Amino acid sequence: MMEEPVANMIPSASVSVKGSGMSYTFDASNSKDHNGSIAKYEWTFDDGTSAEGAIVSHTFTAEGSHAANLVVTDDDGDEGFANSSIITATAATPARLPAIYSGSSLSLTNSVTTVGGDVMVRGDVTCNSGASVGGDLVATGDVYLTNTCHVEGSIRSGGSVTMNSSVRVDGDIDAKNAVSLTRGVRIAGEVRAGSVGATDGTSLAALISSGAVGGVVTGATAAPLALQEQAVVPVDPSAYPSSVWKTWTNFVNEVARSGAAPSWSPGLTTAPGCVISPSPASVNTSSVLLSGSSVIDARQPTSGCATVSLQQLTLRLTGDVTILASSARLINGVRVESADGKPHQFTIAVPGASGVIAVPNGLTTDARISVTLRAPGEVSIEGHSDMRGAISGGAVKMTGSAAIRD
């Protein structure tokens, strides 16, 4: 008598998921085939990609809810199915740079404004006239606020804080030493300091009852301040894997050709000079299209220029652009725009231990451009400027109407 063949049992698929951010590991190793073995593991992700294997890793390119479908096939060709749990992919938030970082004392005056950005200073800070800080104000030294200075965040000082006139602070104040104020100021949060008093003879109780201080006043002081040093500017092409590396001469020559500079123009030669401008003797255009991501090496050893200058230009970007220079100047109003409607980064950085960046006539950007100006020496901005991004220097000098937006 012949034995009846035993029916194959359908394999049981099982999925577990581990990970965070945008990258996850999908594990099907607990899948079972009770009368045989599993021969194949096939994954389909909801972003249209696929993979094979008992354990696979996958990085999603879009934030949001995602899942994976698993098909296991046993040695008899039968299939089992399972779906992963729903995961939420979130991109890591990049470290937030302060709107202004100064390696020495800083004066904010007139209409200097940071919109949503912090100010961090190694030294003392003076804030007066109509200046405002859209985030926190952190200083290793003393902080002096007067007139209508407005700090939308909190203040941390490694020294003392002095406030008078119509100063407003929307957060807390932490000071190692004394906090001195007058009846007209407004502090929305708490005050923690070595001592708190009024310079006009008003009692602390009267200051609180007048609304000058909205929160609790205590003698507890903050931990010592330890601001990080400026990050080192990378100068190796491997640090810019997605960018094309160009010399200053390559850059000026390309722009001069696109601007139809006359044949006699030095902008078309191997010695284009250290200033790029709309002049026929330079690039013959004020509108400069920079296609793709690039690093322009304008340092003196490669360009022959102790300082490179961009004069009266509108830079139109379709990628991230970095200019490395021994020193740099942006002259007669420079504007940076996105040419493709996408967000891009524009950076001027001075590697090494010295060198400055000067913007004597203002810098403006559209809303899609983020600018970083970084130098070991002074970064100075004069005149009208309105830009998104960050300024970082061994010293920072700002005059005129300047808005630095987060």
The alpha carbon torsion through 387, 391, 395, 400 (nearest 10 deg) reads: 10
Whether 39 and 25 have beta carbons less than 8 Å apart is answered as no
Tokens of 178: 């004394």
Residue 189's identity, in one-letter code, is G
pLDDT in tens, the chain (406 residues): 456 666 778 888 899 998 888 889 999 999 998 888 899 999 999 988 999 999 998 888 888 899 899 998 988 888 888 898 888 888 765 556 789 999 999 999 878 888 888 999 999 999 988 899 999 999 999 999 999 999 999 999 999 999 998 999 999 999 999 999 888 899 999 999 988 888 888 887 887 788 888 888 887 665 556 666 666 677 787 888 788 999 999 999 999 999 999 999 999 999 999 999 999 999 999 999 999 999 999 999 999 999 999 999 999 999 999 999 999 999 998 999 999 999 999 999 999 888 999 999 889 999 999 999 999 999 999 888 899 999 999 999 988 788 888 8
Domains defined for the chain, CATH in brackets: 16-89 (2.60.40.10), 100-218 (no CATH), 237-400 (no CATH)
Instruction: Report the run of H or E that residue 205 belongs to, with start and end.
Output: helix 204-209
Distance between terminal CA atoms of the chain?
Answer: 84
CA distances to 106, 263, 323 from 99, rounded to whole Å, are 13, 43, 20
255 sits in which H/E element: helix 248-258
Determine the Cα–Cα distance for residues 141 and 161; give it in Å rounded to an integer: 9
CA 193 → CA 156, 200, 226, distances in Å? Answer: 10, 19, 18
Classify residue 148 as left (phi > 0), alpha (psi -120 to 50) or beta. alpha
